[in-house]
Structure 1
Amino acid sequence: MIQNLWSLGLVVAVAAMTFLLGYVGSRRANTTPDFLVARRAIPATRNAAAISGEYLSAASFLGVAGLVLKDGIDALWYPIGFTAGYLAMMLFVAAPLRRSGAYTLPDFAEARLGSANLRKVCTFFVICIGVLYLVPQLQSAGLTLNTITGLPAWLGGAVVTAIVVVNVLGGGMRAITLVQAFQYWGKLFAIAAPTFVLFTLFLAGPGNGAREVDEGGVLRFHERVEVTTVDEVRVQVVEPMELSATGRINGAPVNGAVYWTAGTYTVDRNTELRFVAGSPVPVVAGSPTSNENWLKPQTGGVGGLFETYSLIFATFLGTMGLPHVLVRFYTNPDGKAARRTALHVLYLLGLFYLFPTVLGVISRQYLPQLLVTGKTDAAVLLLPTTMQPNLLGQVLGAVVAAGAFAAFLSTSSGLVVSVAGVVSTDILPGKVRDFRWATVLTGAVAIGLAFLLPRADASLTVAMSFALAASTFCPLLVLGIWWRGLTWPGAVAGLVVGGGLVIGSQVVTVISSYTGSWAPSVFSQPALVTVPVAFLTMVMISRLTRRLRPEDVSQVLLRLHAPDPLGFMRDRDVQRFGTAEEKRRLAERRDPPHSRP
């Protein structure tokens, strides 16, 4: 009960600070550029902290540690890829994208290739990626609140949605920039402080919270453990063991002693499993069954190797295609500031990802019961009180919970702004009022899907968002910025083929999960196939339709690549939104009265 009070107190404090900073940031937000790009006046350092705060989602705060706990050294590609993606963005995309003067990704596509049809296709994929990324944030918020307080899981998602929607309604991008910058440093403290304390106790040896590493390479329970499955799960058993259970196993009802030989078993939802101290730990099917395999990379054969390279493609290239990340680079004053922002983000993210990796390693000794259900995202939340069941553990657990809540708020805010911006400018007329209606609609759709869809590992769901971004907007941006031969039919074809393959593979994966897990790894991690196919499709169709190449391609590319001091950069005059007064002021900025003859 005391731990619940500590956790609830800090979560409420994070929510209150979010409201306060959102109000401060929104006081002077009253025009469309305020809501979409914060008047393009955010300094590089603050923008880098805001991007990092927005980018470090549930997949980073909870999912990375959970995947390290479950999958071992192979899971390190997630934090590496999440960070290294900004190197590619800094080299190829950040500065030219800002110099385009666009407000959204569909706006950039139309400005570069002059096609309203392409803009509509881009709008569809922005919404798909944004919602696909937003749903696990809300589901993880529910997991966090349920884990620390026992309150219903739906309440956490509803609270996050309400806070985010209210903040975004107040001032859009201008309101959330200060919030996200603050929340990065809050999340860094919330993950770093407990890691330093718990790792120090772990190194201090037995009697200070540490446990001996299991002998023989087989992970074993150190004490009597009771586990209740939330969803149906398939577990692997490496050696014969005895346990007791209440529920259904392999489709048959059980209530009492059970004997398992080596093999795979299907445990129905709401089944209680009781293990004695010294029993080997059953793990979710597909995860390493021994400490030796957990520490060894690539034990999955050719399929595992394919998944690893596919994950590298998705995370390295997907970052430069995420709409909610790219929209933040529109807020920089110029291209140089955008590139400097990407550089700052690299070391801010690199610093953060050190800590969940360490917590994931420690969790394997203290929370083996999470390997039975596969719900390893809860490891970061449970580890402090498991290692230190006293006041210190309660305080550390509360700090972690507050940091996780900040992660949901900051990432959800950026996603709602990016999706609402596109909906308001491409589906609705595009005024401030329409942006606010789009915000409410986006929040309602996201929370509805979070309630309806089954919950998966946050990092796995987010990785699929990266695969979709890498297979759609990454080819569009790279070719649109660096190849003059791109045409709008080629871009549309590449978006449809790449995005369609990813969405189709996701559908196959979901069907497979309910019908015996028959789908090969190419469907669960398709980026290694879909990204090259998308690039190749854009190039081939563009060559076949070269007569449709925009006539002003040389002028557009000059504006994208010319150094900022030359003065070629102009804000794009977007006719789809803005009041007459806003358009007049935009025109005056582009053509000041004193410069006229």
Structure 2
Amino acid sequence: MTSSELSLVAAIALVCLLTVLGGIYGLRLSRTTSDFYVAGRAVGPWRNASAIGGEYLSAASFLGVAGLLYASGVSMLWFPVGYTLGYVVLACMVAAPLRRSGAYTVPDFAELRLESRAMRLLTSVLVVLIGWLYLLPQLHGAGIAVTNLTGAPSWVGNVLVSTVVTINVVSGGMRSVTLVQAVQYWVKLAAIAIPALVLIGLWVASGSPAPTMPTPVSLQGVGMHTYSTYSLILALCLGTMGLPHVVVRFYTNPDGRGARRTALAVIGLLGAFYLFPPIYAVLGRVYLPELPPGMLAEEIVLELPHLAAPGLLGDCLVVVLAVGAFAAFLSTASGLAVAITGVVDQDIIRPRLNRMLGSDVDGIASFRLAALVSMLIPSIIALLVGRVGLATTVGLAFAVAASTLCPLIVLGVWWRGLSVTGAAAGMIVGAATSLLGVAVTLSQVPVPQPWALWFAQPAAWSVPMAFFTACLVSLATPGRVPTHTLRTMTRLHTPENVSLSLTRRGGV
């Protein structure tokens, strides 16, 4: 192994070690079930925003966005904007009401709003499926990074990330993860910004030619390109509020006002980060106009320093990028693991243990067991699934979230007429249509156009079908509207200071 490879291995090991130490430190702070699930509901807006930035900026953000821009050109510059725009929608529509619900997880919200245990179970299944689907690109990206940087088999990256994340979540739950993710956002920002600025300086100093970006879409392909663009925009805008690891973050704020301020802060933090992936795409076209056979576009970020600055400087820049990339894998996977673990624990592990033992089991012990199960299954799936683009897989996860959990949350927060039957029908239709696209795309079965595009970008038709079905069935089943809907809606939309004032006066 060369000295360059040894330094990369040391950098990756350092990131993993610091993540584990952060989890162990969090163990000192986590004493109650609330600490493990929602960090005691005591996370301030800026720290929570940093933690959200840490978990949201995933493998697709660190490697995939640059790869997509490299492969498709400036016509995809809206992609990082779409990632950020989802938080604008979330802040305006659901951030504060979700926090006021007092729920721990999305299934908690479903049961509170619809007063149905069956809806809770259906929501739990979808949360786990979406979480696992979003975990796949993190594990796959870790495999790409390990292979590209050290030459080790891709499964090593999968196992490494899974192990570190499991230790972190088991140690202190949400409180540990919040601490680690808040730091990792700033690590990722520095890791992507510093090499980008250095590479720009080298490019300007060398007098290298201007980049040759891909040819714009021809008129013959405009229709398909337009469909793909708007379908993905819809998935990113509405899917953000349905991602389980994003939604659960707003339950950690002290109140609804803090949740809304957190969402606004996140927009600024994400905007700062997304200034830099396009730089790697453009400079990649300067130093590597065409991808060699077998090389993925996502790998351009890690290859670019060696192409622009062979030698010690290039090695140092790659080390910095490796630190940021692994911070991205670990941070996002940790947030997903906590969200999935909370659902698996509450709705699968703990009820069965209680029945088996005939008494209530310790909540922290069952949470830790659920964490092991939650990470083991997606790790195995990641080893079996073939090579699929990071941006593609993440886009599918957003599409499924937008087609299932988004209608539940939006209609649950804003429409009194939502019935249990309507909510269930909308979620089932959204899940069936979007997961069909996932199955066809991930299986890589040859499908003729335009069907292949419709399956790869299902949000344009799956999201409207889900909302339309939920509304139509709800209107047809008014008797299935929950009894205490008005009381619940009042709780969701009444600011905490007003509620406290009314309580003191005996008004509620």
Which residue does the alignment assign to 1:315? 236
Q: How does 1:438-453 map to 2 (within 5 A)?
A: 438-453=370-385
Distance 1:155 1:481, change over 3 A: same
Is the CA contact 1:509–1:519 (under 8 Å) kept in the aligned structure 2?
no
| Residue number in structure 2 paired with 1:403 | 324
The 5 Å alignment of 1:388-399 reads 388-399=309-320
Tell me the residue number matched to 2:150. 149
Q: What TM-score comes out, normalization by structure 2 length?
A: 0.93
Structure 2 match to 1:482: 414
**Residue from 405, 412, 419 that aligns with 2:333:** 412
State the SS of the aligned residue for 1:456. Answer: coil
Matched letter for residue 180 of structure 2: V
Aligned length: 492
Q: 1:297 to 1:415 in 2, by over 3 A?
A: farther
For 1:369 and 1:293, locate their aligned partners in 2 and report how far apart those are by CA, in whole Å: 13
> Higher strand proportion, which one?
1
2:443, 2:378 → 1: CA distance? 22
Give the conservation status (yes or no) of the 8 Å contact 1:45–1:341.
Answer: yes
Q: Residue in 2 aligned with 1:44?
A: 45
**1:178 & 1:362 partners in 2: Cα distance?**
34
Amino acid at match of 2:235: A
State the distance in 2 between where 1:307 and 1:175 align: 39
Offset at 1:31? 2.0
1:539 to 467, 471, 484: 471
Tell me the alpha carbon deviations over residues 396-442 of structure 1, each in whole angstroms, 9 at most, x when there is no partner. 01000110000000000011111010000011226222111111011
Matching of residue 458 in structure 1 with residue 390 in structure 2: yes
Partner SS state of residue 354, structure 1: coil
CA distance 1:413–1:193, change in 2 (3 Å)? same
For residue 307 of structure 1, report the CA deviation from its aligned partner: 0.6
Is 1:135 the equivalent of 2:57? no
Are 1:82 and 2:90 an aligned pair?
Answer: no
How far is the alpha carbon of 1:384 from its aligned partner?
Answer: 0.6
Q: Is the 8 A contact 1:95 1:334 kept in 2?
A: yes
1:281-430 matched pairs, under 5 angstroms: 291=213, 293-294=215-216, 300-370=221-291, 372-373=293-294, 375-429=296-350
Task: Give a deviation string over 1:268-322, Cα, whole Å, max 9, x none.
Answer: xxxxxxxxxxxxxxxxxxxxxxx4624x698732111111110010001100110
Indicate how the Cα distance of structure 1 residues 18 and 96 shifts in structure 2: closer, same or farther if over 3 A, else same: same
Asked if structure 2 preserves the Cα contact closer than 8 Å seen for 1:559 and 1:568, the reply is no
Distance 1:15 1:509 in 2: 32
1:462 corresponds to which letter in structure 2?
Answer: V
Contact kept, 8 Å, 2:211 with 2:283, in 1: the verdict is no
% identity of equivalent residues: 47
Q: Distance in 2 between matches of 1:337 and 1:360?
A: 36
CA distance in 2, matches of 1:166, 1:458: 25
Partner of 2:356: none
Moved more, 297-306 or 7-16: 297-306
**Residues in 2 aligned to 1:426 and 1:292: alpha-carbon distance in whole angstroms:** 49
CA distance in 2, matches of 1:409, 1:417: 12
Deviations 1:198-254 (A, max 9, x none): 012112233xxx34556xxxxxxxxxxxxxxxxxxxxxxxxxxxxxxxxxxxxxxxx
**Partners of 1:94 and 1:467 in 2: CA distance:** 20
Contact 1:74 1:297 in 2 (8 A): no
Q: 2: CA distance between counterparts of 1:322 and 1:299? A: 35
> Which amino acid is the alignment partner of residue 102 of structure 1?
A
Indicate which of 414, 436, 442 corresponds to 1:504: 436
SS in 2 for 1:19: helix
Q: Which structure is larger by alpha-carbon Rg, 1 or 2?
A: 1
Greater mean alpha carbon deviation, residues 40-49 or residues 1-10: 1-10
CA distance in 2, matches of 1:550, 1:454: 44
Report the counterpart of residue 529 of structure 1 in structure 2.
Answer: 461
Equivalent position SS for 1:151: coil
Determine the C-alpha separation between the residues in 2 that align with 1:157 and 1:81: 28
Give distance in 2, aligned partners of 1:565 and 1:490: 33
Give deviations 1:471-500, integer Å, cap 9, x for gaps.
111111111001100011111000000111
Is the Cα–Cα contact under 8 Å of residues 211 and 285 in structure 2 kept in the other structure? no
State the shift of 1:2 in Å.
2.6
Compute the displacement of 1:74 (Å): 2.7
Q: Quick one: distance in 2 between partners of 1:82 and 1:532?
A: 20
Deviation at 1:507, TM superposition (A): 2.2
CA contact (8 A) 2:71 2:214 kept: no
The separation in 2 between residues aligned to 1:440 and 1:508, in whole angstroms, is: 29
What amino acid sits opposite 2:204 in the alignment? L
Report the structure, 1 or 2, having the larger helix content: 2
Q: CA deviation at 1:118?
A: 0.7
Q: Per the alignment, do residues 374 and 392 of structure 1 end up closer, same or farther by CA in structure 2, a change over 3 Å counting? A: closer
Question: Where does structure 1 lack aligned partners over 5 or more consecutive residues?
Answer: 215-290, 570-589
What's the RMSD between the two structures over aligned residues?
A: 2.0
Do the aligned partners of 1:69 and 1:364 also contact (CA within 8 Å) in 2? yes
Distance between the aligned counterparts of 2:188 and 2:465, measured in 1?
Answer: 38
- Greater CA deviation, 12-21 or 401-410? 12-21
CA distance in 2, matches of 1:568, 1:114: 24
The one-letter code of the counterpart of 1:446 is P
Cα deviation for residue 113 of structure 1 reads 0.6
Query: What is the alpha-carbon distance in structure 2 between the residues aligned to residue 135 and residue 109 of structure 1?
Result: 26
Q: How far apart, CA to CA, are the structure 2 residues paired with 1:424 and 1:434? A: 6
Deviation at 1:361, TM superposition (A): 1.3
C-alpha contact 1:293 1:299 (8 A) present in aligned 2: no
Cα deviation, 1:103-138, whole Å, max 9, x if unaligned, reads 000110000010111111101100110000001101
Matching of residues 578-597 of structure 1 within 5 Å: none
Match of 1:168 in 2: 169
Q: Does structure 1 residue 193 correspond to structure 2 residue 194?
A: yes
Q: Secondary structure in 2 aligned to 1:427? A: helix
Residue 359 of structure 2 corresponds to which residue in structure 1? Answer: none
Give the aligned partner of residue 21 of structure 2: 20
State the AA in 2 paired with 1:107: D
Task: State the distance in 2 between where 1:185 and 1:528 align.
Answer: 34
